[in-house]
Amino acid sequence: MKKEGLHSPTTFVVFDMEWNQPIPYIPSPIDPKLLPGEIIEIGAVKLVMYSESEYTFSQPISITVRPQYYRIMNKQVSRVINKSTDDLKCGMSFIEAYDDFLRWCGEDFILCAWGDSDISILKSNLKIHGLSAEINDRFLDIQPFFGRVAENTTQQRSVAYAVDFYKINQTDDFHSADKDAYYEARILKEALVDYFVLRNREPASDNKNPFPTLKQYISNPNLNTQKKWKSAVCKTEKEALALAVAEKMCCPICDTDLQEVIGWFSSGHTWMSLWQCEQHSTLSAKVRAKQTPQQGYYGAGQLRFVNGNAARYVREKWEEKQKLKEKVKIDTNPPDNEE
Ligand SMILES: [Zn+2]
C-alpha cells in the first residue's frame, strides 16, 4: 500500500445522511438556497484496511437529528425514507449529533460517501448552525471509484445497483442512513479488493489510458477547487467562445500556471480542455456561450479539479473528436489508387 501513500491500517469512515426538504407551498423559515436539505439522520460504518485483501467493518451507527427549520415532513422525501412529521420531533440537535459523530470518527481517516451530495448538504447544515464548514481533509467518493474499478465506466450507478453487482447479501431495505452506510462500506471493500487486483495486473506505463491511483479518487473537500470566469460581451457566439478559451489557466489553489494536457476542443455546444497542476493534480475546464438580454454573447468558463473518471470523460470526448476528424479526412481525400 506504500505506492498509494496510505499507511497500514487505513480507516475509511463511510457516512450517509437523510435530510428533509422544504415544502414548496409553505413559506420557508429559511432561504432554501442556503439550506437545501436539513439533516435528520446520520449513519456511518468504519471500514479498516489492514492490507490489500484484509478488511474489517465496525457496527453501523445511527444518530437521529431533530430538525430546527424543516419540521414538517416533505411528502416526496417521506416516500423514500418512510418517516413522518412525528418522527421529526425525536433526536438530538444537529450540533450535539455532529459532535457525537466526530467523536465516533476519531482521528486520521478517509471520509467516504456515495456521490457528493452528502458533503454539500453537510456543509450547508454546518454553516446554518454557525459552525465551521471545514470537514475532514480527505474525501473519497465511492460512486466514481466503483464505476471505474467494477465496470470501467463513467456512468453513475445507484447503491442498489452496486449491491446487486457485487452480489452483496441484502437483508434490509435501502434509505435509512445506517443501512445505506453499511451497504456503501461493503461496496467500497469489494471495490478496493478489485482495485488492487487490477492495479497489480495493468502495466502502469500505459500512457493513453493510465490506470488511476487510489489517490486520484481522494480529494480535499475544503479547498476552493473551482474557478469561474466570464468573457467580455461580443456580437457573436464564436467571438465570445474564442475570448473565453484564451483565458490564462491558473491553479485555483496555488495560482501557478497549469500545463495543458488536452487543448481546447468543442463537444456539442461545450468547449473542453484538460490541465495539470504539478502540485494539485488534474483539472478540467469547460466553456459555453451564453446570451445577454441585449442579444450579445459572452463565454462562461469553469475550471475545476476532477477525479480519474471525470478526466477520462474529457479524454474520451477528445478521442471521439479525433476519430471524427480522421473520418472526415478519409471521406474527403479518397485514396487515388484502389487495387
Ligand atoms: Zn496547484
Contact partners, residue 56, CB within 8 Å, separation at least 6: 47, 48, 50
Q: How far, in Å, from the CA of 216 to the mean position of ligand 1? A: 14
Residues 6+ apart with CB under 8 A from 216: 281, 282, 307, 308
Mean pLDDT on 86-91: 92
Same domain, 260 and 304: yes
Say yes or no: 116 and 236 in one domain: no
CA of 75 to the centre of ligand 1 (A): 44
Provide mean pLDDT across the span 268-279.
91
Mean pLDDT in the chain? 89
- Judgement on whether residues 320 and 300 belong to the same structural domain of the protein: yes
Torsion angle defined by CA atoms of residues 311, 312, 315 and 321, in that order, rounded to the nearest 10 degrees? -130
Question: Which of 12-21, 155-164, 243-252, 325-334 is predicted least confidently?
Answer: 325-334
Q: For 65, which DSSP code?
A: B
How many angstroms does the Cα of residue 224 sit away from the middle of ligand 1? 11
Confidence of residue 339 (pLDDT cuts 50, 70, 90): very low
Calculate how far, in angstroms, residue 192's C-alpha sits from the geometric centre of ligand 1: 28
**Number of independent structural domains in the chain:** 2
The answer to whether residues 118 and 193 belong to one domain is: yes
Q: Which domain holds residue 232?
A: 224-332
Torsion angles phi and psi, residue 90, rounded to 5: -100, 165
What is the CA(245)–ligand 1 centre distance, in A?
20
Residue 251 CA, ligand 1 centroid: distance in Å: 5
**Ligand 1 center–CA 258 separation, angstroms:** 8
Residues 173, 62, single domain; the answer is yes
Lowest mean pLDDT among 48-52, 63-67, 175-179, 329-333: 329-333
Give the whole-angstrom CA distance, residue 44 versus residue 170: 17
What is the rounded CA–CA span in Å between residue 106 and residue 126? 19
SS3 for 90-125, per residue? Answer: CCECHHHHHHHHHHHHCCCCEEEECCCHHHHHHHHH
Tens digits of residue pLDDT in 214-228 = 887 888 888 767 899
Name 219's bridge partners: 139
Q: How far is the CA of 255 from the centre of ligand 1 (A)?
A: 6
Q: Pick from 217, 234, 265: which residue ends a domain?
A: 217
Q: How far is the CA of 253 from the centre of ligand 1 (A)?
A: 5
Query: Measured between alpha carbons, how far is 298 from 288 in angstroms, rounded to an integer?
Result: 8
Q: What integer pLDDT is reported at residue 189 of this predicted model?
A: 98
Q: What is the model's pLDDT at position 170? A: 84
DSSP state of 178: H
Question: For residue 283, how far is its CA from the centre of ligand 1 (angstroms)?
Answer: 10
- Whole-number pLDDT of residue 66: 97
| Sheet containing 270-277, strands listed edge to edge, beginning at the edge strand earlier in sequence | 226-230, 297-305, 281-291, 270-277, 259-267
Could you tell me which of 298, 294, 303 has the C-alpha nearest to residue 230?
Answer: 298
How remote is the CA of residue 103 from the centroid of ligand 1, in Å? Answer: 32
Question: Amino acid identity of 142?
Answer: I
The contacts of residue 155 (CB under 8 Å, 6+ apart) are 147
Give me ligand 1 centre to Cα 226, in Å: 11
Instruction: Tell me if 266 is assigned to some domain.
Output: yes
pTM of the model: 0.76
Place of cell 484564451: 246
| Residues 165 and 17 placed together within one structural domain of the fold | yes
- Residue 300 CA to ligand 1 center (angstroms) comes to 22
Instruction: Tell me the three cell numbers of residue 292.
Output: 445577454
Q: Percent of the chain beyond pLDDT 90?
A: 66
Query: Where a domain ends, among 195, 217, 239?
Result: 217
**112 and 12 in contact (C-beta within 8 Å)?**
yes
> Which residue's C-alpha cell is 489517490?
215
Q: Is the pLDDT of residue 163 over 90?
A: yes
Do 249 and 102 share a structural domain? no
Final residue belonging to a domain, choices 192, 217, 242: 217
pLDDT for residue 338: 44
